[in-house]
Structure 1
Amino acid sequence: MTVEQSVQTASLRHTLFEDIYAVLTGCILAVLGLLMLQAAGLVTGGMAGLALLLSYLLPMSVGVLFALLNIPFLGLGGRSMGKAFVVKAVAANLLIMVLAIAAPLGFRIGEVNGLFAALVGGTMIGVGLLLLARHQVGIGGLGILALVLHKAFGWNAGRTMMIGDALILCASAPVLHMGTQQFAYSVVSAVAAAGVLIVFHKPGRYTGH
């Protein structure tokens, strides 16, 4: 790498403020998407999908469940992505937990169309994950695994997550006794979330870190 390239790379590094702002914005979008899907009785892919599934079965906040499910994956992320990755991942998961618990104090979603929730809620989760991924933060177990595989082998993070999403959705359908329409909307939500990463999170397209 030349001196000019080194200077250019350094100038593209995210500042602490940019990292904090990205984590805050990404977590807000992810929580809003989760709550919208929950209000419509839908499931999505990844740890978000597992958290939603368990929230229908257990008297616990979807945000708390989401954070607890992600704990085992932080070690994997730390070994492959470094200590800074783990610190930001822990902070992001704690923030999601707090936001999900505090959300009912600020607003309640009374009624939402299933297809609208799937498209908008899924997209919001996807954009939230994209923001976090761009700043080397993984909030979901599958998201962390996808980022590790992306860094190690160049695998597209969105496609990796989509495979995991399919497995989680298929497992959720019989447990929740989902009808055809509800299952279809849940699939739409997973595709909407993963689609954002497939289109916008590609090797070499983004050089900031």
Structure 2
Amino acid sequence: MSNAPSQSAPEAPAELSARHSPLDDVQALLVGTLFLALSISFFRDAGMLTGGTAGLAFLIHYAFDLPFGAAFFAINLPFYIFALRALGREFTLKTFCTVLLLSVCTEWLPSLLSIAHVDPVFAAIMGGLLAGTGLLMLIRHRSSLGGVGVLAIYLQQRKGWRAGWVQMAADCVIMALALLAIDARLVGLSVLGAVAVNFVIAVNHRPGRYFGI
């Protein structure tokens, strides 16, 4: 990088008008989903959970011993209607592919990675950081994990409800229900993991700091 002073006002970079290529999107969705699958492995091996539809899938997994991936995929199915109406076909298709890929990866990953012991505090923080990084990649390439987040955006557009508050309320309900399935200490650490997720997104996803489309 050059440290030479500029003689004129800087021009906007040419990349501002460029869109992500299909190859950009594919690599981002693959890598982001892998990060998310790793985060779920940390949470699952430590007996914790997270918010959103992933949190509901964890509750079903713990309560009924059903595969997390299958539960996560099934729970998301009704939300694609809201995604299509609120965010369009491209976003909905990318989200469907991401959810499908994550559902497969979470069931396939244990055959490649076995964690004999993980400290719950470390799992909460590292799992949250991985999830936040993975979600950041999805957001920047117009994708998501569907579920409650999509419903929140839909309700904001149709009813004027603040999406952030809807998401927070849903996560609080999920964490409260988690007290029926797992130890209260693990629920508290799950909240710590959620804080780590939102920290990564809040710090790295600010208006004016990223210009990819």
Shorter-chain TM range is 0.7 to 0.9
Q: Deviations over 1:141-163 (max 9, x none)?
A: 1232455578898x686x76444
Aligned length: 200
**Partner residue of 1:191?**
195
**Structure 1's 69 and 75: CA in aligned 2 closer, same or farther, altered over 3 A?**
same
CA contact (8 A) 1:156 1:198 kept: no
Report which of the two structures shows the higher radius of gyration computed on alpha carbons: 2
Of 183, 186, 196, which aligns to 1:178?
A: 183
**AA aligned opposite 1:10:** S
5+ long unaligned stretches in structure 2:
1-10
For residues 27 and 36 of structure 1, the distance between their equivalents in structure 2, rounded to whole angstroms, comes to 14
**AA aligned opposite 2:210:** Y
Shift of 1:177: 4.7
Question: Which segments of structure 1 move beyond 4 Å, counting only runs of 4 or more?
Answer: 146-153
Of 188, 200, 206, which aligns to 1:202?
A: 206
Report the identity percentage.
34
CA contact (8 A) 1:47 1:70 kept: yes
Of 13, 17, 20, which aligns to 1:10?
A: 17
**Partner residue of 2:45?**
39
5+ long unaligned stretches in structure 1:
none
For residues 155 and 35 of structure 2, the distance between their equivalents in structure 1, rounded to whole angstroms, comes to 24
For residues 135 and 157 of structure 2, the distance between their equivalents in structure 1, rounded to whole angstroms, comes to 16
Q: Where does 1:119-158 land on structure 2 (aligned, <5 Å)?
A: 119-146=125-152
Say if 2:108 is the partner of 1:102. yes
For residues 167 and 199 of structure 1, the distance between their equivalents in structure 2, rounded to whole angstroms, comes to 26
> What TM-score comes out, normalization by structure 2 length?
0.83
CA contact (8 A) 1:161 1:194 kept: no
> What TM-score comes out, normalization by structure 1 length?
0.84
Indicate the RMSD between aligned Cα atoms, in angstroms: 2.6
CA contact (8 A) 1:133 1:147 kept: no
Shift of 1:26: 0.9
Q: Deviations over 1:71-101 (max 9, x none)?
A: 1111111112111111111111111111112
For residues 60 and 16 of structure 1, the distance between their equivalents in structure 2, rounded to whole angstroms, comes to 35
